[in-house]
Amino acid sequence: MVSFGSATRAMLAGVVVTMLAVACGSSATTSDGTDVGKGALTGAGSTFDNPLFSKAFYDYTAQHSDVTVNYQSVGSGAGIQQFIKNTVDFGATDVPMGTTDIQSAGGSDKLTQIPVTLGVVAIAYNLRGVSTLNLDAATLSGIFLGHITKWNDPAITALNSGATMPSTKITVAHRSDGSGTSYIFTDYLSKVSDEWKSSVGVGKSVKWPVGVGGSGNQAVAQAITSTAGAIGYVELSYAVQTNMPTAKLKNADGQSVAPSATGATAAAAQNTSLSPTNFSIVNEPGASTYPIAGFSWVVLRTSYDDKDKGKAIVYLMRWLVTDGQTEGTSLQYAPLPPSVQQLALANLKLIKAGGSTVLS
């Protein structure tokens, strides 16, 4: 039997979600007889991915009773460090590992990185009486730089004609841990604000000019919901499942768009040569493009000594990037574009288990 709390409780409490295989699951083979391996798999990292992983891994292990998955939603930075230290079988991150981390993990021939999902970073807020909020790049960067401190600031009221904006103080909520979600968000701010680019920059961890920090998407979501006048950034699924209102953002084409899976797909279409070194899709053109979107990645070893476990990892991830993409639909994740699925499958073919290539 699988035992864990609801997705909302897991996100808000920041608990580790452990998926155990159900007793009535099938054997470690597919309907065509393919041996998909077996074993207890461990992973750690991105909280951006956690709603998807919680659902997807549960459903996969329900079909393959010889495979269990324990995923720790600890943030991209911590997940990469656990992967480097060889304490988990896979890491999950919203920004691919860079040169320094790759070398710390043994070099580029020792690992591969595969895109597993596509989502958006929503700007969530807590403002009584304001059900619709419009922001643009200059206003959003001004808030996070600490230049705009009241909700009735002229820059905000000008974008929200017809709405009565209160004089409530703005409280910024941001991540305090090493976060791929923060990387996507600061990548966007650096693209639209020269001041942000020069004074703060892009990173999983940055020196925030203002605000209160929380570890994980779930902690930021809780900070927003519990603080009147708060604003922060979270993966869209967290906003939807906790019923937080989200702002519409003016995109590169000047269109105000709400965060959505469709908006993420439109952004992803602009990057036709995705790779672990060319992955940014923020502030892309297109009338329907949501401006703060990004892919999330899983980091895997290219060789697993345990043949059964290695097979289990590869077949789990192959399912996740193909048929398993439907798992994210109800959670506001966008399916990987076909070309990105092919990149993921090509990288999975690099992996050996017990000395033999798993996928031909």
The CA-based dihedral angle spanning residues 348, 354, 355, 356, taken in that order and rounded to the nearest 10 degrees: -50
Give the tens place of pLDDT for each residue, 41-98. 999 999 999 999 999 999 999 999 999 999 999 999 999 999 999 999 999 999 999 9
* Model confidence at 347: pLDDT above 70: yes
pLDDT surpassing 90 at residue 213:
yes
Q: Phi, psi at residue 17, to the nearest 5°? A: -95, 120
**pLDDT, mean of residues 130-138:** 97
At 233, list the tokens: 């950034």
Q: Which of 339, 248, 253, 350 is nearest to 295 (CA)?
A: 339
On the question of pLDDT at 3 being above 90, the answer is no
323: amino acid identity, one letter: D
In whole angstroms, give the CA distance from residue 152 to residue 159.
Answer: 11
Average pLDDT over residues 207-236: 96
Strands 111-125 and 67-73: unpaired
> Per-residue pLDDT tens for 274-301?
999 999 999 999 999 999 999 999 999 9
pLDDT category, 32, cuts 50, 70, 90?
low
Is residue 318 within 8 Å of residue 359, measured between CB atoms?
yes
The percentage of residues in the chain with a pLDDT greater than 90, rounded to a whole number, is: 89
This prediction has a pTM of 0.90
Q: How far is CA 177 from CA 107, 183, 288, in A?
A: 25, 11, 31
CA–CA separation, 303 and 301 (whole Å)? 5
* CATH numbers and ranges of domains, the chain: 7-119+294-357 (3.40.190.10), 120-260+280-285 (3.40.190.10)
